[in-house]
Chain A
Amino acid sequence: MAPVTIGVSIDIGEKTYPGRAGVRAVTALRNLQARIDPSEFCVITGPSGCGKTTLLNIVAGLDRDFAGTLGFAPPDRGAPCIGYVFQTPRLLPWRTVRENVELVRPRRADRMELEGLLSDVGVADMADAYPAQLSGGMARRAALARAFAIAPDLLLMDEPFLSLDAAAADRLRSLLLRLVSSRPATVLFVTHDLAEAVELADRILVLSPAPGRVVAEMPIDLPRKERRDPVMLSALRTELARLADHPIEPPENNENSILTA
């Protein structure tokens, strides 16, 4: 496990989904530049359909069909090890929790390490259950365990706590912060929930409506304890709105909503 994590530099000229029969071409991202420092917890937020998921898929290497460049630093590290937590858990339904996590690891990986991870994440009791038997929160814990199982340099998280009740999402956020502090990784975390963004982030990037680009940036250097103060949150919300409120392009309507799929 490398103690030094990696930085990411993103420079996307344009990302367009080609049109097909009945669907017209949609530009998801345009002129998007961002730099994420090693070990930084960077949260990306923005309106629905602004291309957040598209951006993560590009960084993950799942989508190579875009104009622009993607760089990792230091460059001599070779291909980065990327853990991806998707919007839905995407566990293999026909494999148990343990098998799901085990599958992504190198073949000769340490057995004890796996058990340690499963218990750290809180799924040790359910390790032999199939995903259909898990609650939503448990399934998300399992997906988190899978992402950490490869000891990632870079962790991509796409609204990973969506559709959980507030208390469960809260527990998972604390869990995530604990995991990141004991297993350092650079994190790129997408959410549209500002409170969640503030609680987790070292820095928040705000994307414009599609085609998405970075319209505001705000470092958060408050102690964790103070991050849940509602007065501060509403001040931040106003400030971010003001920063993002440069009239760039006429706001587009819901036609881009397929991008969040």
Chain B
Amino acid sequence: MARFPAALAERAASLLVLLVVWEATARIAHSRLFPGVGAVLTTLADEALHGELLHDLGATLARVAVAFTLAMTVGTAVGIVMARSRAIDTLLDSGVVLLLNLPALVIAVLLYIWLGLTEAAAIGAVTLSKLPAVIVTLREGARTLDRDLADMARSFHFGHWRTFRHVTLPQLSPFFLVASRTGLSLIWKIVLVVELLGRPDGIGYAIQVFFQLFDVRRLIAYALAFVAVVLAVEWGVLQPLERRLARWRR
């Protein structure tokens, strides 16, 4: 905690270097296709106040939230079941491996063809791209569950719910956290592609429009807003959660 201000200063310094390099390059290039810091930030504020930025950002975040929740819950359940039952594991394993290696682009295109250019297809594609990784991680976690603690819970008559909440879930939490981490970084990238292919709003859609207009100022402004949200989730949600879950470790 004592090092926190120092870390903050370092972070600020490296950010400053980045901005200086950017601005300098923009001045040298002196082109509409490489806007400077000031131009982008003005555009960012303008788009947030009068443009579609907040609407698009909201649409993208909503898709991320739904797909993330779906993939984590379904993936956790399937992963645990596969770890528990050899038969189900054998039955589903090929499907998981296939899905794991299928490019997200293929999944998105196929779902848009089968379901039309709908919200369900978009969210389905994002969910399916992330699902297999969650299954594999949680299956690994559920396979390492401690038999001794399970026996302890049984001999003290914990029952299903107490065993799940106090014995099983805490053992799975590191795996759950890894799955959320890697999963979220994957989803951030895929969701833009899916929107670009077949949605009438969202950051991905906006990027495509700006691409066609060669409007680099807005393109970078939208991307920056998106990155800011991703970092806010990482620092504001995931890292505190990780610290909380690890507080019993010495």
Number of residues of chain B lying within 8 A (CB) of chain A: 16
A146 CA / B166 CA spacing, docked (Å): 15
Q: Is A104 an interface residue (CB 8 A)?
A: yes
Residues 197-211 of chain B, each 1 if its beta carbon lies under 8 Å from chain A, else 0: 000000000000000
Chain A stretch 81-136: residues in CB contact (< 8 A) with chain B: 82, 84, 86, 88, 90, 92-95, 103-104, 130, 132-133
CB pair B149 A90 closer than 8 Å = yes
CB pair B156 A88 closer than 8 Å = no
Which secondary structure characterizes the binding site on chain B?
Answer: helix
CB pair A88 B148 closer than 8 Å = yes
Using a Cβ cutoff of 8 Å, how many contacts connect chains A and B? 43
Residues in B whose Cβ lies below 8 Å from that of A78: none
Q: Is A62 an interface residue (CB 8 A)?
A: yes
CB pair B155 A92 closer than 8 Å = no
A93 to chain B, nearest CB (A): 6
A169 CA / B221 CA spacing, docked (Å): 68
Who on chain B is nearest to A57 by CB?
Answer: B151
Residue among B152, B170, B249 making CB contact with A86, cutoff 8 Å? B152
Q: Is B154 an interface residue (CB 8 A)?
A: yes
A257 to chain B, nearest CB (A): 18
Residue among B155, B162, B166, B249 making CB contact with A132, cutoff 8 Å? B249
CB pair A86 B148 closer than 8 Å = yes
Q: Is A150 an interface residue (CB 8 A)?
A: yes
Q: Is B167 an interface residue (CB 8 A)?
A: yes
Given A62-B155, A104-B156, the answer on whether A95 and B166 have CB atoms closer than 8 Å is yes
Residues in A whose Cβ lies below 8 Å from that of B151: 57, 62, 86, 90
Chain B stretch 132-159: residues in CB contact (< 8 A) with chain A: 148-149, 151-152, 154-158
Residue among A60, A90, A93 making CB contact with B248, cutoff 8 Å? A93
Who on chain A is nearest to B173 by CB?
Answer: A94
Q: Is A251 an interface residue (CB 8 A)?
A: no
Measuring CB to CB, which residues of chain B are less than 8 angstroms from any residue of chain A?
Answer: 148-149, 151-152, 154-158, 162, 166-167, 170, 248-250
A-B contact pairs, 10 of them (CB 8 A): A61-B155, A86-B148, A90-B148, A90-B151, A93-B249, A95-B248, A103-B156, A103-B162, A132-B250, A133-B250
Chain A stretch 173-225: residues in CB contact (< 8 A) with chain B: none
CB pair B250 A84 closer than 8 Å = no
CB pair B167 A82 closer than 8 Å = no
CB pair A62 B154 closer than 8 Å = yes
CB pair A103 B250 closer than 8 Å = no
A67 CA / B156 CA spacing, docked (Å): 24
What is the size category of the interface that chain A forms with chain B?
Answer: 20 to 34
Which secondary structure characterizes the binding site on chain A?
Answer: loop
A103 CA / B162 CA spacing, docked (Å): 8
Who on chain B is nearest to A105 by CB?
Answer: B156
B245 to chain A, nearest CB (A): 8
Q: Which of B152, B158, B249 has the most CB of A within 10 A?
A: B152
A132 CA / B248 CA spacing, docked (Å): 8
Residues in B whose Cβ lies below 8 Å from that of A90: 148-149, 151-152
Residues in A whose Cβ lies below 8 Å from that of B250: 130, 132-133
CB pair A94 B170 closer than 8 Å = yes
Given A103-B166, A133-B250, the answer on whether A92 and B149 have CB atoms closer than 8 Å is yes
Given A90-B148, A92-B170, A103-B166, the answer on whether A84 and B248 have CB atoms closer than 8 Å is no
A130 CA / B249 CA spacing, docked (Å): 8
Who on chain B is nearest to A150 by CB?
Answer: B156
CB pair A84 B156 closer than 8 Å = yes
Q: Which of B151, B156, B158, B250 has the most CB of A within 10 A?
A: B156
Residue among B149, B155, B162 making CB contact with A82, cutoff 8 Å? B155
A60 CA / B170 CA spacing, docked (Å): 25
Residues in B whose Cβ lies below 8 Å from that of A133: 250
Residue among B152, B156, B162, B248 making CB contact with A94, cutoff 8 Å? B248
Residues in A whose Cβ lies below 8 Å from that of B156: 84, 103-104, 146, 150
A150 CA / B158 CA spacing, docked (Å): 12
Residues in A whose Cβ lies below 8 Å from that of B154: 62
A174 CA / B18 CA spacing, docked (Å): 68
Who on chain A is nearest to B165 by CB?
Answer: A103
Q: Which of A57, A86, A92, A150 has the most CB of B within 10 A?
A: A92
CB pair B158 A84 closer than 8 Å = no
Residues in B whose Cβ lies below 8 Å from that of A146: 156
CB pair A103 B248 closer than 8 Å = no
Residues in A whose Cβ lies below 8 Å from that of B155: 60-62, 82, 84
Residues in B whose Cβ lies below 8 Å from that of A95: 166, 248
Chain A stretch 140-157: residues in CB contact (< 8 A) with chain B: 146, 150
